[in-house]
Amino acid sequence: MIAFAIAKRIFIQMFRDKRTLALMWFAPLMLFTLMYFLFTSSGTDTTYKVGVYNLNPEIVENLEANHMKATVFSSEEHVAESIKNNQLVAFIAQEDAGPIDITYENSAPAKSAVVRAKLQAAIIKLQLGALTSLAQQAVAANPSLAQAVPQQPAINELYLYGEEDSDYFTTISPILLGFFVFFLVFLISGMALLRERTTGTLDKILAAPVRRFEIIGGYLLGYGFFAFIQTLLLVEFVVHVLHVAVAGSLALVMLITFLSALLALSFGVLLSTFAASEFQMVQFIPVVIIPQIFFSGIIEVGTLAEWLQFLAKFMPLYYIGNALQSVMIKGGTLGDIGNDLLAIVLFISIFTGLNVLGLKRYRKI
């Protein structure tokens, strides 16, 4: 068949183009590894520097026991200069028994929030210590009060999904997996067909007695093979090298990822028909790819406005991210992700059909 002949030619071209193969097969591994270390290396042991003036020593002690480095100042004058010169996250001052005044550096609001939470925890710990001391004194004076003091019950924590040490990377790893496959296949397939069009290869194919669906089928078959290899490499690398937990079936993860690659392939080929150069192809990325990232699960879609939730239904990455999260985090089965898979297959069918119709721009067969 003509489709197999086109696919064979693509095989030969791709195996000769080592740079494209490296981009398609090994770039996702490096990107995923980088994201893994970026998110997992930021532990909870980060120390924050704060300046204190006339603060209760017990509060200072509680702060330092909670990953805070307190520098004691003899004056609360020139707070701004003290923060800048000593690279402080905040300056905490108190006038005798008066209120506590906090000045935050606040170039990174997240750090300010951490200091605020740790200071509140230190104050609460001080108050609880005082209450406990009073309670012990009261019980010592009147032992019958011991029965009136409620005992703290034991707390047993159970998790429906994930483990106690699950981190943010565990949540976004399915989304990253789907996105890297989708983006790179989209870019490579679109550029490849565009190059064939601009170099005249596509015109030569169209000059032969071949049907449009055979041409598109050949491209999907040829690049689909390399997308399948990419899926195997990336999923195996993520699971067995980076040890990302998969609660559900690994075969389902591979199926979703492969369908994501086919979707990106058909989408990239479609958009390449509207681009006259590689630069125009790149210009599509901020229009059709980047907006989808925000609906892929990075931001909880259920918390968005209703019209944005409705808009998410038209984003392919929404279904890809949802399906991968269901399987990898929640242990979902084929029945649980059936609607997402149906939507992905529907997108592939629509884009493939539009690709066949799009070839009419170059020749009517």
Question: What is 114-132 written as a DSSP string?
Answer: HHHHHHHHHHHHHHHHHHH
Q: Residue 246 and residue 324: Cα distance in Å, rounded? A: 10
pLDDT at 339 (0 to 100): 94
User: pLDDT (tens digit, 9 = 90+) per residue, 37-84?
Assistant: 888 775 556 788 999 998 888 888 888 888 889 999 988 888 888 898
Neighbours of 252 (CB within 10 A): 22
- Residue 199's Cα: distance from chain center in Å? 38
pTM, full prediction? 0.77
Q: Residue 198 and residue 193: Cα distance in Å, rounded? A: 9
Residue 180 has pLDDT above 50, yes or no: yes
Q: Which of 29-38, 127-136, 278-287 has the lowest mean pLDDT?
A: 127-136
Q: Residue 237 and residue 249: Cα distance in Å, rounded? A: 16
Q: Residue 135 and residue 126: Cα distance in Å, rounded? A: 14
pLDDT at 39 (0 to 100): 81
Handedness of CA 70, 71, 75, 81 (dihedral sign): negative
Query: How are strands ordered across the β-sheet holding 68-72?
Result: 68-72, 48-53, 90-94, 100-104
Block residue for tokens 């209760």:
56
The bridge status of strand 68-72 relative to strand 90-94 is unpaired
In terms of pLDDT, which residue wins out, 338 or 189?
338
The topology (CATH level 3) of 48-148 is: D-Maltodextrin-Binding Protein; domain 2 (3.40.190)
pLDDT at 347 (0 to 100): 95
Six-digit token string for 49: 């520097």
Six-digit token string for 35: 């994201």
Beta bridge partners of 37: none
Q: How far is CA 202 from CA 23, 219, 272, 336, in A?
A: 24, 11, 12, 42
Q: Residue 226 and residue 238: Cα distance in Å, rounded? A: 18
Confidence of residue 365 (pLDDT cuts 50, 70, 90): very low
Confidence of residue 362 (pLDDT cuts 50, 70, 90): low
User: pLDDT (tens digit, 9 = 90+) per residue, 114-170?
Assistant: 899 999 988 888 888 877 787 777 767 777 666 666 666 778 888 788 777 777 788
Domain boundaries, the chain: 2-40+165-361, 48-148
